[in-house]
Amino acid sequence: MRSRMLSRCCATTAAVVLSTVLLPVAGAHATASTPKVTKATKDAFGRVADNVITDRTAVLIDGAKAARTSLKPTGGVKLSAAQKSAEDTKLKALRATKSRLAGLGEAYTSADTKVAVDSTAVKGTKATVKVTEATTLKYKKIRGDEPTSTGFEAHHVLTFTASNGAWQLTAMRSTDGGAPRINDPVAPAANAKPSRTPMAVIDAPKAATTWPAPANAKTLNGGKYNYQAMATYTEKYWKNYNTAYRKYNSLGGDCTNYLSQGLLAGGWQQISKVTPEEYDTWYYASNGNADAWTGVNEWSWFTQTAKRTTPLANVYQLDVGDVMQMDFNRDGEKDHSMMTTYRSSSGVPYLTYHDADTYRRSVASLIASYPTANYYAYRT
């Protein structure tokens, strides 16, 4: 989130029940303007969502030439012409992402997507369907030291419209904050007007994104902090949230709140005593928390000014327990926070974060999705 606000980014799902019954949208005595939505119709809504997301993910798979399942009507439900065109555009952008990934030495061998329908609300000829996506992609062993997989949970809202007795998908959007998933490309952001940094704090410099990076080794155990404990905590709660903490997803994003929890688990000490300086506290309490606990920019200002972190020159120097932040539209305000929870022996960091809840996504994947963003790397 923007400065002086909570950070922007920063239930176990079940597979959609597949129905083999193809039912018309309206009952025998219903009209096209007031269609009846049955259980079979709701199942079809979920399967259409599953097909669309599966098609997006399939484009990223190495050597995949799978037929697009979303082009065929499912249970009497199909994509509108405009939505087909929108999906064509997304698939084209994802092919470009896949090409950039290949240039960075990354690919996926397979993927699995499951979609659960969370709710369906019908009003007249409109049906609003909320779904949760759970996707896992297996890394191709290119360098040989990649982790097994990366995964994420994401949330989407779909709009279906009844026309001439049939339902059509007419709109679909993601509702998570932070960095969009690897299978959900975004249009390049235009440069925004640079913002001002408070004069009382130290801002972090941008980091390079070239690989390989100069060596910058880090001792993981036996020092002041337990970096492995930070990573263990972060990977434990990446999708099943720790109920001891409040969630901030609907208040601008949970990414920095989650990051702070991991740092605390590794030995960072809280500071709650207020002084005249700006952003000089970092704490969580039952009745509130410091801005730096939840705010992306505030966290950066606090940690740099208090010398809790030192900047790294290159994102590929990140090691376990280190932090990466991103400024998507290059306006000088950071938008998203992530922790490094795995580093391959060949020097590729993998990040875990909330919004959307993501496990071991590589730095290369983020760079491929956001080639023009500004990146910030912190040694903790």
Please, what is the average pLDDT of the chain?
88
Place of tokens 């949760």: 132
Is 368 within 8 Å of 100 (Cβ atoms)? yes
pLDDT band at 194 (very low <50, low <70, confident <90, very high): low
Q: What is the pTM of this model?
A: 0.87
pLDDT of residue 185: 87
pLDDT of residue 171: 98
pLDDT of residue 52: 97
Using DSSP bridges, classify how beta strands 357-362 and 288-289 pair: parallel, antiparallel or unpaired: unpaired
Q: In this predicted model, what pLDDT tens digit does every residue of 136-186 receive, in sequence order?
A: 999 999 999 999 999 999 999 999 999 888 999 999 999 998 888 999 987
Closest CA to 17 of 70, 75, 61: 75
CA dist., res. 36 & res. 78, Å (int)? 17
Residue 265 neighbours by CB under 8 Å, 6+ apart:
229, 230, 232, 233
Q: In this predicted model, what pLDDT tens digit does every residue of 199-234 receive, in sequence order?
A: 667 889 999 999 999 989 898 888 899 999 999 999
Which bin fits 347, alpha (ψ -120 to 50), beta or left (φ > 0)? left
| Higher pLDDT, residue 266 or 18 | 266
pLDDT of residue 186: 77
**CB-based burial label for 337 (10 Å; 0-12, 13-18, 19+):** buried
Q: In this predicted model, what pLDDT tens digit does every residue of 311-369 receive, in sequence order?
A: 999 999 999 999 999 999 999 899 999 999 999 999 999 999 999 999 999 999 999 99
| Mean pLDDT computed over 291-316 | 96
What secondary structure does DSSP assign to 218-286, as a single string?
Answer: ---SSSSS-HHHHHHHHHHTSSS--TTS---GGGT-SHHHHHHHHHHHTTPPPB----SSTT--B-EET
CA dist., res. 147 & res. 94, Å (int)? 22
Token pair for residue 372?
């023009």
pLDDT band at 190 (very low <50, low <70, confident <90, very high): low
Exposure letters 134-157 (e unless 16+ CB within 10 A, then b):
bbbbbbbeeeeebbebbbbbbbbb
pLDDT of residue 55: 96
Using DSSP bridges, classify how beta strands 77-79 and 166-174 pair: parallel, antiparallel or unpaired: parallel
Dihedral pair phi/psi, residue 291, rounded to 5°: -60, -35
Q: In this predicted model, what pLDDT tens digit does every residue of 29-39 receive, in sequence order?
A: 444 455 688 99
CA dist., res. 313 & res. 379, Å (int)? 10
One-letter amino acid for residue 316 of the chain: Y
pLDDT of residue 34: 52
pLDDT of residue 9: 43
| Mean pLDDT computed over 95-122 | 96
Token pair for residue 122?
């019908």
H-type helices in the chain, by residue range? 39-58, 81-103, 227-236, 255-265, 291-294, 296-305, 363-369
One-letter amino acid for residue 63 of the chain: G
End-to-end CA distance of the chain: 21
pLDDT of residue 348: 97
CA atoms within 13 A on the CB side of 88: 8
Q: Facing residues of 163 across strands?
A: 166
Q: What is the total residue count of the chain?
A: 380
pLDDT score of 255 more than 60: yes
pLDDT score of 5 more than 60: no
| Higher pLDDT, residue 300 or 36 | 300
Residue 282 neighbours by CB under 8 Å, 6+ apart:
260, 268, 270, 271, 290, 292, 293, 299, 302, 303, 306, 308
Chain-centre distance for alpha carbon 134: 12
pLDDT score of 276 more than 80: no
One-letter amino acid for residue 73 of the chain: P
Dihedral sign from CA coordinates of 103, 108, 114, 118:
negative
